[in-house]
Amino acid sequence: MDYTQLTESDQQAMLATIGARTVDELFAGVAEAHKLKEPLNIPPGLAEMELLADLERLASKNVSTDQQISFLGGGIYDHFVPTIVGALAMQSEFLTAYTPYQAEASQGVLQAFYEFQTMVCQLTAMDIANSSLYEFASAAAEAALMACQITRRSRVVVSDATHPDLRRVLTTYLYETDHEVIVVKSTGGATPVEAIRKVVDDRTAAVIVQHPTFFGTLEDMPAVADIAHNAGALLIASVDPISCGLLKRPGDYGADIVVAEGQSLGVPQSYGGPVLGLLACRKDYLRKIPGRLVGQTTDRDGRVGYCLTLQTREQHIRREKATSNICTNQGLLAMHATVYMAALGKSGIAQVAKRCFDNAHYTAERIAALPDFELAFDTPFFKEFVVRSKRKKVTAVLKACQQADVLAGVPLGKWYPQLDDCFMVAVTEKRTKEEMDRLVGALRTA
């Protein structure tokens, strides 16, 4: 209710309750120049029927990837989501936003998260995984803090071929601390191994490299692992979980901590969020892992049960002493990923990865044959690649393609000024040959 609509006695009672004599005294901290001198220009309310009609009109302006062919990437991808994922994950028995506290009443959900952790470990070849974090960028920042606590060092080296959001969140996390972030410049879409070697020393806690990179290219991860380990630092690998079905898994090339964006694992795009952060590590670092960990145990009758384990109370009541202040997980989305991984299995994910790889390389070859375009890098890539426009501005090219109902790619100039004439194309297993050819045709006539 508007304060001015109250009776004078009610106004005085409210002011007395909060310890102010007048409204002006209540807002004394606000400069006169910033105070509203007239009523807000707010239109009158609508009846429910009118409101629903108005919302439907606004919603009809949205265009989804069911209406336009999407080659967008950069972290969120248009993968196929089997019907079984939503059908099971949205069952009321599993429907939850995060991990429950009462294990005795939540055995089904906890078992599902336990299976999620197990499958993430199998996918990444790591020993331990938590029950998810908010998204890949905060997962990477938490991994960096883990590495600093483990090594008792304060310098973090990160490649600029990692996702820009990862680097920005990492910088924000460490801004008001004694930690230092060193950014290594990439060349040709990948990070020069020697450039990493030059900055890694006995002060380095971790080296963060994305593989495939933000550009979709592949890094020399075994060489980076050797550099980090020879200096006593940890390797944090940021990966596309689908790529683990085709490429060597992070644990197999020496990663100590693995982070990933789990949206590819059966999570709809949903305007860019909410999404799902994955974090896995070697068993040596179990006590430092952030977030929730579901464990398997037995009750007094010997029956298998599940519970939250290794939780430090400092995360809840003494936050300044916590190893991490993340106390929950993305339960609903982790459930989607659990059903997706279980439904596809090892061979299914490998097939998806192989089809992404094949589709991307077919599309790249077709685009490279066009006179007005070329591939920006000759570095090997997985499902994403960078295209350079030789003549027209990237914004004009992408707009022309969109008018043909093709979302051709993501412009890179926003994050990399030197790539202002480039855009990034992502090709998933969902794209048909007809759709890939349609992209090529749209670019040809753009």
Interval 84-134: pLDDT, tens: 999 999 998 888 877 777 777 788 899 999 999 999 999 999 999 999 999
User: What average pLDDT does this structure show over 65-77?
Assistant: 94
| Helix and strand numbers, DSSP H then E, in the chain | 13, 15
pLDDT-based confidence at 44, cuts 50/70/90?
confident
Residues 244, 124 contacting (CB under 8 angstroms): yes
Least confident span in 93-102, 172-181, 237-246, 343-352: 93-102
Pick from 171-180, 257-266, 299-308, 320-329: least confident = 320-329
What pLDDT does 56 receive? 96
The whole-angstrom separation of Cα 311 and Cα 286 is 11
- Residue 187, CA atoms < 13 Å, CB-side half-sphere: 5
Determine the pLDDT at residue 406.
98
- What angle (nearest 5°) sits at the alpha carbon of residue 126, between those of residues 217 and 195? 40
**Residues 388, 411: Cα–Cα separation, whole Å:** 10
Cα separation, 257 vs 238, whole angstroms: 9
Q: Is the pLDDT of residue 422 over 70?
A: yes
Res. 7 pLDDT band, cuts 50 70 90: confident
Would you give the end-to-end CA distance of the chain in angstroms? 55
Residue 431, classified by CB atoms within 10 Å of its CB into exposed (0-12), middle (13-18) or buried (19+), is: buried
Query: Containing H/E element for 364?
Result: helix 331-368
pLDDT at res. 316: 66
Closest CA to 142 of 179, 193, 111: 179
Report the alpha-carbon angle 9-11-16, nearest 5. 95
Please report where in the chains the tokens 């596309």 appear, as a residue.
Answer: 240
Domains of the chain: 3-42 (no CATH), 69-78+346-445 (3.90.1150.10), 83-340 (3.40.640.10)
pLDDT at 139 over 80: yes
All residues at 6 or more sequence positions from 304 whose CB lies less than 8 Å from its CB, including other chains:
296, 297, 298
Mean pLDDT lowest among 42-46, 138-142, 157-161, 342-346: 42-46
The sign of the CA dihedral 397, 399, 403, 407 is: positive
**Strands 155-159 and 180-184, how do they pair?**
parallel
pLDDT band at residue 20 using 50, 70 and 90 as cut-offs: confident
> Among 178-182, 204-208, 272-276, 385-389, whose mean pLDDT is lowest?
272-276
Query: What is the CB neighbour count within 10 angstroms for residue 226?
Result: 16
At residue 119, the pLDDT reads 98
- Position 108, amino acid: G
68 has pLDDT over 60: yes
Q: CA 251, CA 280: separation in Å to the nearest integer?
A: 10
Tokens read off for 374: 């070329």
The average confidence (pLDDT) of the chain is 93
Helix, strand, coil distribution of the chain in percent, nearest 5: 45, 15, 40
Percent over 70 (pLDDT), the chain: 98
- C-alpha 10/C-alpha 318 separation (Å) is 41
Position 2 confidence tier, pLDDT thresholds 50, 70, 90: low
Residue 369's pLDDT is: 97
**DSSP conformational letter for 37:** -
How confident is the model at residue 3, as a pLDDT?
A: 65
Which amino acid, 345?
Answer: G
Contact 423, 411 (CB under 8 A): yes
Tokens in use for 114?
A: 């336990």
- Evaluate if residue 227 carries a pLDDT over 60: yes
Give the least confident one: 227-236, 258-267, 310-319, 332-341: 310-319
**Percent of the chain predicted with pLDDT > 90:** 77
3-state secondary structure of 153: coil
Question: Taking the CB of residue 19, how many other CB atoms lie within 10 A of it?
Answer: 8
pTM for the complete prediction? 0.88
What's the rounded Cα separation, in Å, for the pair 434 and 241? 27
Tally of CB atoms within 10 A around 350: 15
Report helix, strand or coil for 265. Answer: coil
Q: Which residues of 276-291 are buried (b: 16+ CB within 10 A; e: fewer)?
A: bbbbbbeeebeebbbb
Count CA atoms within 13 Å of residue 414 on its CB side: 9
Element (H, E) at 138: helix 136-151
pLDDT tens per residue across span 312-343: 666 666 767 777 888 788 999 999 999 999 99
Q: Which residue has the higher pLDDT, 329 or 201?
A: 201
Structure tokens at 267: 């999570």
Cα radius of gyration rounded to whole Å, the chain:
26
